[in-house]
A and B are shown apart, each in its own frame.
Chain A
Amino acid sequence: MPDICLTKTHRKYRTLLCICILIYLAAMLVRMIKIALDPTLTRDGSVYLIWVENWIATGNFYYDFFGRVDPSMPLSPWMIKELMQLGGFNVEIAGRSLSMFFGSLFPVIGFLFTLRLCRNIRVALIAAFLLVFLPELVELSGQPMRENCYIVFCGMLMIVLVEAFRKSTVFKWALCGVILALSVYCRYEAMEFAVIVPLFLAALWAFKKIKFKEMFLNAAVFFLVSGLSFVLLAACVGFDSRLIERLSFFFNRIF
């Protein structure tokens, strides 16, 4: 692969920051045009808004929706709820704004991930361009759905993972744990990273970049921090025993 463009000089960082802002603004513009042309809420988008409304009305996120217990990971609805209460927005504006924010951030995350992985700014810019215009993402960014923050957190986790692979430090693995908890609190499908992160650690050990003891220590830090973050999130956002049922249902699907 062609060589690096990212250096540690201030000038290069400033350029990088400008590029990130431009990508963010371009993504935001495309998404705003999309919403202006087609404000239709999708079926699933309205489900999330109903969840938030029920949460505010009943004080319980795990309120039975039409008599059906359908607990979901509550981080995204919680953020919508908090935004509503902070800014006095209605549920739809809060939901869409949050999705727009995360949806526009995702091409920036894609840019940074590609840059760190390939160390080539041209490949990273092409990736960002694709992500700005990818129909699935544009469509999703207009809907108040949890996938927007889920993919942003997963993207951040991948960036930190690549960083940790290039230069392993305890702090980076701990950061992976924090972001894992955030992404799992958006969608439980993010549990896959609880396997991928240790796999990366094992690969580092297999490539003789770290010692076995170091691998074990980093894995312990990762799981400990992710568990702790999960507990903190549960204390902050809320947790219900039915989530355990949901998770067990999820594991039943696998095994």
Chain B
Amino acid sequence: MLESFEKIPKGVNLILFIWAAVGLFFMLRDAKVRKEKIFYACLAMIAFMIFWRTLIRLISSRYAICLILPLTVSAAYLVFIQGKRRHVLVRVALSAALAVSGFLFLKMNTNSVFRNYSSSILSEMFKDIESSREKHLYVASWKDFSRVYYASRLGDSITSIRDKDIHDYVVGYRNVYPDVFFNVESRSIADDPVVLEMLRDKQVASLIDDTDKNKKQYVYLLSSENKCVPVSESRIAPLRPNLLENGGLEQLDSPEESYGKLKAHVEQYAMLRNAGESIRTPRNAFFHTAPGNGFPPEFNTQESGAIDGNRSVWIGIPDGSAGLMFDQRFSNGKYDYSMLVKGKTGTKVCIFFEAEKNGSRETVPVATFTIPDKRLFRITSKISVDDLDREDGFRVGVSVRNGEAYFDDFSVTPSETDEPPSPVAD
């Protein structure tokens, strides 16, 4: 209740509130006013309005704005009566008080009314990035989300996050999309050295949020290190040295092993049981999907239409997500993860790794690509893992969302440079 009450002077202007309180005091001393019955009714109205606002628990000080009108009457009465005082000391004291508070009133006015800034920086920036609308994710601190949403016209490619999630987004999503814009308030990241380091020199715009509170919004652009480049089908060169066993998917599990893996990892197995016996999984890998991830998922190791060698993996799911994950685990370190992909235009390919963190299994997205056309592409991305709790290591995977694609030539190579690896000719 007290908290709500404290918001009332803030909502109606503190100076006005003080003037009104003093004015009310003089009104109570005025015999002519005391004779007016309406005065008591209005007094009861003001008391009830304050009581009502403390009762409904003011979420915002703006909710108290309706009180401005009766309080202004009282404040105006104070200004008026001040000119009527006879006693010199009272006149001097009141004049001084009004002059000081009047000065403060003007100062507040200057600060909040004539704030000389505009949102043009934000609008200009959005014009620049509009052409690449589908290639990026715009992440805004929830405090300014609606304004950015409105100004940017970015629609669904803008995401709202809480301050406590900024770290995870900056660290986890910076490579998931080709470009990620982070719109955050400076104070939200001030205590996070990791985020500060990652965002250093990445600022593309700034916007004064509130001069009174010295708040500023910053926009950072983190471009992805991941690449998706077209490759000639006649000149496919594998990456060396490949740490991933059977990355070329040439070796298959036996029908019994494939059937067992399918039962273990495809939670919608019941739906697939008719086809289950015909699905062959590559050695060192398994297909996976889960209830709620869409239906019907289809995957198999194909000989026809193989990208490289004799076999490729085909994954198709019209509405939802299904994928392939490798059994092999890797220890902490920096790696380059790569694969060849060819598929239906618009299909989303998500690269991820799965790690044990804090005793629980966690799937970490690394990159998301949209297949731009029917050509063959090599996707390369960087995986950096250095905080695994156990020695279990992590394992890599890929999933397809809303579409279909062939995959081949998976490789995991130790990363030596910050640049993505280049294909090495045989």
Interface set of A (CB-CB < 8 Å, partner B): 1, 30, 33-34, 37-47, 49-50, 66, 109-110, 113-114, 117-118, 120, 122-124, 126-127, 130-131, 133-140, 147, 150-151, 154-155, 158, 161-162, 165-166, 189-190, 192, 195-196, 199-200, 203, 207, 209, 250, 253-254
Q: Are B41 and A165 in contact (CB under 8 A)?
A: yes
26 A-B pairs in the complex with CB atoms less than 8 angstroms apart = A1-B32, A1-B36, A41-B147, A41-B150, A42-B147, A43-B145, A44-B62, A46-B146, A46-B147, A110-B69, A123-B77, A127-B75, A130-B75, A131-B68, A133-B105, A134-B13, A134-B72, A135-B109, A135-B113, A136-B12, A140-B62, A161-B45, A189-B63, A190-B66, A196-B45, A199-B45
Q: Are A127 and B76 in contact (CB under 8 A)?
A: yes
Q: Separation in Å of the B94 CB from the closest CB of chain A?
A: 14
Q: Are A50 and B44 in contact (CB under 8 A)?
A: no
A47 touching B72 in the complex, CB below 8 Å, given contacts A38-B115, A250-B56:
no
**Closest B residue, CB atoms, query A191:** B52
Q: Are B45 and A110 in contact (CB under 8 A)?
A: no
Q: Are B33 and A1 in contact (CB under 8 A)?
A: yes
A134 touching B16 in the complex, CB below 8 Å, given contacts A117-B73, A151-B66:
yes
Q: Are A120 and B52 in contact (CB under 8 A)?
A: no
Q: Separation in Å of the B395 CB from the closest CB of chain A?
A: 33
How many B residues have CB within 8 A of the partner chain? 56
- Chain B residues with Cβ below 8 Å from A154 are 66, 69
A136 touching B68 in the complex, CB below 8 Å, given contacts A41-B151, A50-B150:
yes
Q: Separation in Å of the B72 CB from the closest CB of chain A?
A: 5
**Closest A residue, CB atoms, query B106:** A133
Contact of B65 among A109, A120, A151, A199 (CB under 8 A): A151
- Chain B residues with Cβ below 8 Å from A151 are 65-66, 68-69
A43 touching B114 in the complex, CB below 8 Å, given contacts A147-B65, A166-B38, A192-B48:
no
A37 touching B65 in the complex, CB below 8 Å, given contacts A123-B80, A192-B49:
no
Complex alpha-carbon distance, A176 and B210, angstroms: 39
Contact of A136 among B44, B65, B151 (CB under 8 A): B65
A34 touching B146 in the complex, CB below 8 Å, given contacts A123-B77, A199-B48:
no
Q: Are B32 and A124 in contact (CB under 8 A)?
A: no
- Chain A residues with Cβ below 8 Å from B115 are 37-38, 40
- B28 contacts the other chain (Cβ, under 8 Å)? no
Contact of B119 among A41, A140, A162 (CB under 8 A): A41
**Closest A residue, CB atoms, query B73:** A114
Contact of B38 among A43, A150, A162, A254 (CB under 8 A): A162
Complex alpha-carbon distance, A124 and B144, angstroms: 39
Q: Are A189 and B66 in contact (CB under 8 A)?
A: yes
Q: Separation in Å of the A54 CB from the closest CB of chain B?
A: 11
Complex alpha-carbon distance, A250 and B79, angstroms: 38
Q: Are B40 and A203 in contact (CB under 8 A)?
A: yes
- Chain B residues with Cβ below 8 Å from A161 are 45
Q: Separation in Å of the A48 CB from the closest CB of chain B?
A: 9
